[in-house]
């Protein structure tokens, strides 16, 4: 395993990246600097995370002080739902580039298959959402394609897309999405979606690979199972003299997907990076396959507002 993903055009992407969702301003600068020192070359960002300006400062300082070349880094960001209208896509990407202090992104993703009004950050009622009939994903996608034409991003992709929604883009788009970033961990293994992506040469990035225990309480269910406490994961970790988090990351790497564990703690940033050295046996991988609960930690409930046309069924197409 060399922990590199290859695209059809020969481009490459580091499989293991630093996640920055929930990394607070005031914390994320040091986290990104430490990650780059440790060896991470892939940073996963999004406009919504509200911390891109601080990440931009960290990237700039790392490039200046450590002689890291822009081409050596892989920077992903994401278009927020309130900028799906084609006229808003390029301006949104420009804001992200300005915040990140970059001339181009490596990968720009549509964050959710959900469209919101321009003035809505999170929908409070049905009026804040725009139905996909009115503002189809394929229209937003055309504007994403123009961002590639204009050299603002090398690649484009999507996040939280079902196989059905990927098919719409594959059928109608001029360019193919090279990535689908989805929640993926042993409790949500998404094997059918993974197979679909593999058949169509679409790479997958696993988000919330450690179960995102630090997400807001409102997004948590009572008594939810904790991945980092799973007895099977803990036993395998013990056998490898590793931590449960390292086993979860190694599992994703063995699946052949990109993975973006978030941490703002220097020891854990390093520990997570070292997961790439772990080799799991076939039987350990099988044991972990047995843990699937089809359990979403991020169930998308926030978009399923009655009267909006969005439901959990049509969000996930399941
Ligand atoms: P912290 O940032 O303090 O390290 P996810 O990537 O699934 O969103 O999970 C992120 C959560 O997991 C954060 O609470 C993060 O805390 C924690 N975390 C990150 N790395 C580790 C690790 N190696 N061991 C335990 N918890 C970790």
Q: pLDDT tens digits, residue range 181-197?
A: 999 999 999 999 999 99
Measure the CA–CA gap between 5 and 202, rounded to whole angstroms: 11
pLDDT at 219: 87
Asked whether the CA dihedral 302, 308, 313, 314 is positive or negative, the reply is negative
Is 29 in the active site?
no
Q: pLDDT tens digits, residue range 107-143?
A: 999 999 999 999 999 999 999 999 999 999 999 999 9
Q: With respect to residue 46, please indicate whether it lies within any of the assigned structural domains.
A: yes
> Do residues 100 and 77 make contact, with C-beta atoms less than 8 angstroms apart?
yes
* Phi/psi of residue 272, nearest 5 degrees: -65, -40
Whether 1 shows a pLDDT value over 80: the answer reads: no
Q: DSSP readout, 106-129?
A: EEEEE--S-EE-TT-SS-SSGGGE
Q: With respect to residue 20, please indicate whether it lies within any of the assigned structural domains.
A: yes
- Distances in Å between the Cα of 159 and the Cα atoms of 65, 181, 225 are 33, 4, 24
Q: How confident is the model at residue 218 (pLDDT cuts 50, 70, 90)?
A: confident
> What residues are in contact with ligand 1 under a 6 Å CB criterion?
19, 208-214, 228, 243, 245, 261-265, 268, 271-272
Q: Which of 6, 29, 40, 49 is catalytic?
A: 49
What is the CA(306)–ligand 1 centre distance, in A?
34
> Do residues 8 and 201 make contact, with C-beta atoms less than 8 angstroms apart?
yes
Whether 253 shows a pLDDT value over 80: the answer reads: yes
pLDDT at 316: 98
Q: How confident is the model at residue 207 (pLDDT cuts 50, 70, 90)?
A: very high
pLDDT at 134: 97
Question: For position 145, which CATH number holds?
Answer: 3.20.20.100
pLDDT at 118: 98
Q: What is the mean pLDDT of the chain?
A: 97
Asked whether the CA dihedral 238, 243, 244, 250 is positive or negative, the reply is negative
Q: With respect to residue 154, please indicate whether it lies within any of the assigned structural domains.
A: yes
pLDDT at 25: 87
> Do residues 77 and 109 make contact, with C-beta atoms less than 8 angstroms apart?
yes
Q: How confident is the model at residue 2 (pLDDT cuts 50, 70, 90)?
A: confident
Q: With respect to residue 32, please indicate whether it lies within any of the assigned structural domains.
A: yes
Q: With respect to residue 318, please indicate whether it lies within any of the assigned structural domains.
A: no
Whether 63 shows a pLDDT value over 80: the answer reads: yes
As for how many domains the chain has, the answer is 1
Q: With respect to residue 151, please indicate whether it lies within any of the assigned structural domains.
A: yes
Q: With respect to residue 205, please indicate whether it lies within any of the assigned structural domains.
A: yes
Looking from the CA of residue 271, the nearest atom of ligand 1 is 23
143-147, long-range: CB < 8 A, 24+ apart? 143/86, 143/87, 143/88, 143/89, 143/90, 144/79, 144/89, 144/108, 144/110, 145/173, 145/174, 145/175, 146/89, 146/90, 147/89, 147/90, 147/93, 147/108
Looking from the CA of residue 23, the nearest atom of ligand 1 is 2
Q: With respect to residue 286, please indicate whether it lies within any of the assigned structural domains.
A: yes
Measure the CA–CA gap between 45 and 104, rounded to whole angstroms: 13
Report residue 98 as tokens: 């300005």
Whether pTM exceeds 0.85: yes
Residue 280 C-beta-side C-alpha neighbours within 13 Å: 28
Domain encompassing residue 193:
4-313
What is the CA(262)–ligand 1 centre distance, in A?
6
């Amino acid at each position: 395993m060399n922990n590199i993903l290859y695209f059809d055009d020969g481009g490459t992407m580091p499989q293991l990246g630093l996640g920055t969702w929930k990394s607070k301003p005031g914390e994320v600068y040091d986290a990104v600097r430490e990650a780059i020192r440790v060896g991470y070359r892939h940073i996963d960002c999004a406009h919504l995370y509200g911390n891109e300006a601080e990440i931009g400062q960290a990237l700039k300082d790392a490039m200046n002080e450590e002689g890291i070349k822009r081409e050596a880094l892989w920077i992903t960001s994401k278009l927020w739902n309130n900028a799906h209208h084609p006229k808003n896509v390029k301006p949104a990407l420009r804001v992200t580039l300005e915040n990140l202090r970059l001339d181009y992104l490596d990968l720009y993703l549509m964050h959710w298959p959900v469209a919101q009004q321009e003035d809505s950050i999170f929908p409070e009622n049905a009026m804040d959402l725009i139905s996909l009939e009115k503002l189809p994903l394929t229209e937003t996608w055309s504007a994403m394609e123009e961002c590639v034409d204009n050299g603002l991003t090398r690649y484009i992709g999507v996040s939280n897309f079902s196989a059905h929604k990927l098919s719409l883009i594959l059928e109608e788009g001029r360019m193919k999405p090279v990535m689908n970033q989805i929640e993926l961990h042993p409790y949500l293994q998404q094997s059918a979606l993974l197979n679909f992506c593999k058949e169509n040469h679409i790479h997958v990035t696993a988000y919330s690979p450690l179960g995102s225990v630090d997400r807001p309480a409102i997004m948590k269910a009572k008594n939810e199972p904790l991945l980092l406490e799973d007895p099977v994961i803990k036993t395998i970790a013990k056998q490898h003299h590793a931590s449960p988090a390292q086993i979860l990351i190694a599992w994703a790497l063995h699946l052949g997907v990109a993975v973006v564990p978030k941490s703002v703690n220097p020891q854990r940033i390093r520990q997570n990076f070292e997961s790439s050295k772990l080799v799991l046996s076939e039987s350990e991988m099988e044991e972990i396959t047995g843990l699937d609960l089809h359990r979403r930690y991020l169930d998308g409930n926030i978009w399923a507002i009655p009267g909006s046309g969005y439901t959990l069924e049509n969000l996930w197409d399941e």
